[in-house]
Amino acid sequence: MDTIATTFSFALSVTAPIFLTLLVGYGLARVKLLSESFVDDASRLVFLVTLPALLFFNIFGSDARLGDEWPLLLAGLIGTVLTVPLAWLAARSLAHGDRSAFIQGAFRGNLGIIGLAWAANAYGASGLAQAALLMAVITIFYNIAAVALFAVYSQKAKFSWIKLGKDILRNPLIVAIVLALLAKSVGLRLPEMIVQTGDYLASVTLPLALLCIGASLDLSMLRRSSFGAFAASGFKLLVVPVILVGVGLLFGLHGQGLAILFLLAAAPTASASFIMARALGGNSQLAANIIAISTLFSVVTASLGLALLKVYLP
């Protein structure tokens, strides 16, 4: 019994601080201490500067090597690829205009902030480095899947593969990860003052980003949520982690690697799904509801899932 209690305590220590920080951001926005313009500027700063710094210096200073992580990366990619057609099948019963929002919400996770934060809380620098590599691979697929959704559902615009390629190559998160891997491969040594500056920038990333996500939440939308919103959230928080963990077991993952795969799979729906739903001409209200619901309940599902992994698949 003590072992079970300790395991659940560990799981909550990973997820609860992240959730509480989101609630702090939500509360600060409600009392007008975080303005919409500040959240927009801070989110842009995180995406363009501090999160790339976090990824670069964490991977550069860690023992994680791309060649050693291929089972984790392949399991994450294959598992994510499998979730998309399943989400598409689950969306078949919905109105045509709701399907793109449902599919995006059902498979596209918030890896860059909440997934990384959970990994860092659970396993420190080594977990963060593994999660960053996995995030890069899955993010590239997310963009490809988004283009496929545009091709099927968009009535507003046409997207080209050339533009997709440029967007991926210019994504600051992917660029930072690639540069870190290249720097490690050539044995680059950076001056200590550069490393310390990078650490300063990196240290503000997760708290600032979590506050911004919390400030952007509109929990009042929960009252207007439909069955589709709860179904997509359930798919994201329950089905996606089960699929990815199953694929991870087939690739022989265990311990920290399997837990990192689970934590990124269990992350709530990404805010980008709302932006994509609007661009697709889909139901942006549904997309917003999915984000709110999945974020709210992810602390429960991720905590329970991580505890079960620690007990049954240590």
> Which residues 6+ apart lie within 8 Å of 29 measured at CB?
39, 214, 215, 216
Secondary structure letter of residue 115 according to DSSP: I
Question: pLDDT value at position 284?
Answer: 83
Backbone φ, ψ for residue 29 (5° rounding): -70, -35
**Which three-class secondary structure state does DSSP give residue 109?**
strand
Question: pLDDT value at position 93?
Answer: 87
Q: Does residue 281 contact residue 98 with C-beta atoms inside 8 Å?
A: no
Question: pLDDT value at position 133?
Answer: 93
pLDDT digits (tens, 9 = 90+) for 70-126: 999 999 999 999 999 999 999 998 887 788 889 999 999 999 999 999 999 999 999
Backbone φ, ψ for residue 253 (5° rounding): -75, 150
**Which three-class secondary structure state does DSSP give residue 190?**
coil
Question: pLDDT value at position 70?
Answer: 94
Sign of CA pseudo-dihedral 88, 80, 258, 113: negative
Does an H or E element contain 21, and which?
A: helix 2-30
Question: pLDDT value at position 156?
Answer: 58
Alpha carbon distance 157, 192 (integer Å)? 48
Tokens of 299: 């602390």
Q: Does residue 60 contact residue 190 with C-beta atoms inside 8 Å?
A: yes
Backbone φ, ψ for residue 191 (5° rounding): -60, 145
Closest listed residue to residue 111, CA positions, set 124, 103, 98, 120 = 120
Q: What is the mean pLDDT of each run of 10 residues along the chain (314 residues)?
A: 75 93 94 93 93 92 80 97 95 85 93 94 93 92 81 64 78 90 90 94 94 87 78 96 97 95 96 77 84 93 94 82
Question: pLDDT value at position 157?
Answer: 55
CA atoms within 13 A on the CB side of 284: 9
Neighbours of 166 (CB within 10 A): 11
Secondary structure letter of residue 101 according to DSSP: H
Question: pLDDT value at position 226?
Answer: 79
